[in-house]
Amino acid sequence: MLNLLWAVFCIVGIACGILNGRAAELTQAVLDGGKEAVELAFTMAGILAMWSGILKIGERAGLMDALAKKLSPLLHLLFPDIPPSHPARRYIAANFAANFLGLGWAATPAGLNAIQAMQSLNREKDRASNAMCMFLVINMSSLQLITVNIIAYRSQYGSASPAEITALGIAATCVSTLSGILAVKLLERRW
Amino acid sequence: MSYLVFLSDIIIPLTAFSIIVYGVLQGVSVYDAFLEGAKEGLLAVWQILPALIGLLTAVALLRAGGVTEALADLLSPVCQLLHFPSELLPLALVRLVSSSAAIGILTDIFSVFGPDSFLGRCASVMMCSTETVFYTMSVYFLSVGIKNSRHTLLCALCANLCGVAASCWLVAAVFGK
């Protein structure tokens, strides 16, 4: 998918540029693209490393397990088909907790474990169960509360107040997640 | 709505403060943990750097060739109908496919319009509240051999659409256009 997308971007860009008589701009773009990426990576490295360090402290202190425990009433509401003692619950909680904190690399393994555990409860093995649909839609609606990388990009491009969008991001994330949950609940009986 | 801006400013220092205090109380060797996490963070940046170079160059080519303007012109009637800024349309679409390609477009919006412009703020909030749909879905469903995904895609697209709409509305309400 990404291979195709990248090729289309480059080919269409260059072809259009030549047709529009913008060869000089194209040359500049090739020279600047890489430079910009490296400068960006430098700014990001500082902010991301700092934040990953802080989050590691939280992980070591057992913050993720504590969060997972707090989430259990919510999970009961969202996944009524999964029995309370089933391991799927624990994996889902770990996945959500990691997503909240923006630990993408910790969220995916837990998510894969969760969907495997849900598959063991699934009666038709090639058809997604209600719980799976709910779990994936919530994952794809963004759960992250603090998007450090966006703040890093904003600061690299000279924002006067890079973090000013954090609360709006949380509010918009709530809207997208809640509408996703609502859509699943409405459609799961008819599909 | 200025308390939202205040909340945004306080939330990061407060999170860092609480995590460090919690870590100390739990007896974690906090500095060692910090160093280990920071190393992982640096490694993550190092790993995405090649993709960043490739995609930023591709997006720069698209802009230099005049493609983004042409696309925005082409779709501006639809956007006008929905009161959606057409400059953000490429970001909203690419975001569904690839997170790193979306970052390329985001930084492009920042460098053209500035991160503190209406468009820059909208784009930032949009990136916070949406997620790559197609990649996530294929990874998860492929891993357990699900072929019939039922209503998953439709609901995920609906969630993303609502996130995009909410982003623009919230930014307009808090910061003005």
**Range of weakest confidence among A32-46, B107-121, B156-170:** A32-46
Rounded to a whole number, what is the largest CA-CA distance in chain A?
66
* pLDDT value at residue A35: 87
Closest residue on chain A to B30 (Cα): A57
Q: Please, which contacts does B66-69 make with residues 24 or more away whose CB atoms are closer than 8 Å?
A: B66/A16, B66/A17, B66/A20, B66/A22, B67/A12, B67/A13, B67/A16, B68/B108
In the predicted model, is pLDDT for residue A1 greater than 70? Answer: no
CA distance linking residue B98 with residue B132, whole number of Å: 6
Residue A39 contacts residue A156 (beta carbons within 8 Å): yes
Residue A121 neighbours by CB under 8 Å, 6+ apart: A81, A82, A86, A88, A129, A131
- Of the ranges A47-51, A183-187, B36-40, the best mean pLDDT one: A183-187
* pLDDT value at residue B177: 76
User: Tokens 């490393």 label which residue?
Assistant: A49
Q: Which residue, B59, B39, B36, B58, is CA-closest to B47?
A: B39
Give the tens place of pLDDT for each residue, A126-178: 999 999 999 999 999 988 888 888 998 999 999 999 999 999 999 999 999 99
Give the tens place of pLDDT for each residue, B35-76: 998 998 888 788 778 877 887 888 888 888 888 778 778 888
CA distance linking residue B122 with residue B67, whole number of Å: 22
Give the tens place of pLDDT for each residue, B117-152: 999 999 999 999 988 887 788 888 988 888 898 999
Mean pLDDT of chain A: 88
Q: In chain A, which residues have their Cβ closer than 8 Å to the Cβ of B64?
A: 13, 17, 22, 25-26, 28-29
Average pLDDT over residues A87-105: 83
Q: Cβ separation of B115 and A112 shorter than 8 Å? A: no
ipTM of the complex in this document: 0.80
Q: Cβ separation of B129 and A173 shorter than 8 Å? A: yes
CA distance linking residue A37 with residue B17, whole number of Å: 32
Q: B155, B162, B167: which to substitute to probe chain A, counting the most A Cβ within 10 Å? A: B155
Instruction: Name the pLDDT band for A42 (thresholds 50, 70, 90).
Output: confident
Q: List the structure tokens of A19.
A: 């047709």
Q: In chain A, which residues have their Cβ closer than 8 Å to the Cβ of B15?
A: 54, 146
- Whether the CB of B10 is below 8 Å from some CB of chain A: the reply is no
From residue A137, alpha-carbon distances to A142, B5, B171 in Å are: 9, 29, 25
Measure in Å the smallest separation between the Cα of B24 and chain A Cα atoms.
Answer: 8
* pLDDT value at residue B2: 64
* pLDDT value at residue A87: 85
Cβ-based contacts under 8 A for chains A and B: 368
Rounded to a whole number, what is the largest CA-CA distance in chain B?
60
Q: List the structure tokens of A55.
A: 């989050």
Residue A141 contacts residue B97 (beta carbons within 8 Å): no
In the predicted model, is pLDDT for residue B109 greater than 90? Answer: yes
Helices (H), B65-151: 67-81, 89-95, 99-113, 118-129, 133-144
CA distance linking residue B87 with residue B39, whole number of Å: 37
Q: Cβ separation of B37 and A54 shorter than 8 Å? A: yes
In the predicted model, is pLDDT for residue A108 greater than 60? Answer: yes
Option in A16, A36, A127 nearest B66 (CB)? A16
* pLDDT value at residue B53: 87
Give B148's strand partners. Answer: A127
Domain limits, chain A: 62-187
* pLDDT value at residue A105: 63
Q: Which residue, B128, B117, B123, is CA-closest to B105?
A: B123
Rg from Cα positions in chain B: 20
Residue A142 contacts residue A176 (beta carbons within 8 Å): yes
In the predicted model, is pLDDT for residue B5 greater than 80? Answer: no
Residue B160 contacts residue B133 (beta carbons within 8 Å): yes
Rg from Cα positions in chain A: 21
Q: Which residue, B25, B23, B9, B6, is CA-closest to A56?
A: B23
